[in-house]
Amino acid sequence: MNASTTATARAAQKKPPEPGQPDKFNAIQKVCAILRVLAQRSPLRLTDIADTTSLNKATALRILNSLIEEGFVARVAGAKTYELGQEARVMAVGARRSVDIAELAQPSLLRLSERSADTALLSVRSGVEALYLARSVGSHPLQPNYLQIGSRRPLGVGAGALALLVWLPDAEIEAVIEVIVPRLAKSPRITPKFLRERIASARKVGHTVLIDAAFPGMGGVGVPVRDDTGEVVAALSIGAASDRIRRREAELADMLKKEAQVLARAVAQAPKNGRVAARSA
């Protein structure tokens, strides 16, 4: 029996407090008990979660709703069951990596910015947003300086952010689009219809391109970066003036795809111990 299974068994053996007696579970223990159970076997119904953790249904439901709001638990569509959410999966992906992907990406970003003279960016998914972890600025005088390290944008708003969205399952894409619609007011050209068209196009050619969409006069090309299981863990993109993207879309896409393969190999070969940060929440 491994340590996680043993911990789950201990949690299951704990009895709820007798009437009039203080609850010996503290808030953190209750949250951990629910996450541990869902990690061991899910999806689960509320009744199963409450029974396994020895929590009453009202307490379990309250904690589950809070975890759903934070992205650590998700309701299964069309079923009255719960499973681990995206943020929990982000942590799991991180736990498999020993070197920060932003560090691994630096050589690729430097080559991309040098060869293109434009801004090369690394982004990762955080819920329904893209988070920019690293960048390298080229020599061309006009650069997308609004894209800073630490900036966040809704998935789909930007070439890299779109590359993080395109290869998700269709049902998840539709859920993301539904959630981000209120956030698209600053980018009126980016509508659900527009995103679906761009997604279909990107799946055919293997890269994303946005011109005058997220920001007037600017554009970008993006590609996914996959780990050794095929999961998209990041995106590489190049941002530049719109006319520079139009003239060189194929060239930039080819550069990005080659560097995405280089980065994917570096991620796969990274030691499996030490500090981790494949994606960020």
Q: What is the CATH number of the domain that holds 167?
A: 3.30.450.40
Residue pair 113/137 in contact (Cβ under 8 Å)? The answer is: yes
pLDDT at 79: 81
- Does some domain include residue 281? no
Residue 175: Cβ within 10 Å count: 15
24 vs 61: which has the higher pLDDT: 61
- Does some domain include residue 91? no
Tens digit of each residue's pLDDT (9 = 90 or more) over 249-272: 999 999 999 999 999 999 888 765
| Residues 183 and 76 both lie in one domain | no
Question: HSE (CB half, 13 Å, CA atoms) of 48?
Answer: 12
Q: What angle do CA 233, 83, 171 make, to 5 degrees?
A: 60
How much of the chain exceeds pLDDT 70, in percent? 84
Q: Output the CA–CA distances (angstroms, integers) from residue 213 to 164, 174, 219, in the order listed.
A: 17, 20, 7
1 has a pLDDT exceeding 50: no
Q: Which of 24, 53, 84 is a domain's end point?
A: 84
| Residues 79 and 103 both lie in one domain | no
| Residues 72 and 101 both lie in one domain | no
| Residues 29 and 51 both lie in one domain | yes
Q: Which domain holds residue 79?
A: 3-84
| Residues 62 and 118 both lie in one domain | no
CA distance 193 to 211: 16
| Residues 52 and 170 both lie in one domain | no
Q: Output the CA–CA distances (angstroms, integers) from residue 237 to 86, 155, 212, in the order listed.
A: 23, 14, 16
Confidence of residue 99 (pLDDT cuts 50, 70, 90): low
**Rg, C-alpha atoms of the chain:** 22
- Does some domain include residue 136? yes
Rounded to 5 degrees, what are φ and ψ at 183?
-90, 0
- Taking alpha carbons only, the member of 173, 230, 215, 218 closest to residue 198 is 173
For 239-266, the DSSP string reads EEEHHHHHHHHHHHHHHHHHHHHHHHHH
Tens digit of each residue's pLDDT (9 = 90 or more) over 5-42: 444 344 444 444 444 434 445 888 899 989 888 887 77
Q: Which of 52, 84, 116 is a domain's end point?
A: 84
Strand order in the sheet with 129-136: 152-154, 129-136, 119-126, 232-241, 218-226, 208-211
The helix (run of H) or strand (run of E) holding residue 44 is: strand 44-45
- Does some domain include residue 73? yes
Rounded to 5 degrees, what are φ and ψ at 129?
-125, 160
| Residues 74 and 165 both lie in one domain | no
| Residues 8 and 121 both lie in one domain | no
Confidence of residue 76 (pLDDT cuts 50, 70, 90): confident
| Residues 124 and 211 both lie in one domain | yes
- Does some domain include residue 276? no
Buried b (16+ CB within 10 A) or exposed e, 19-33: eeeeeebeeeebbeb
The count of structural domains within the chain is 2
Window from 7-16, 55-64, 80-89, 98-107 with minimum mean pLDDT: 7-16
- Does some domain include residue 218? yes
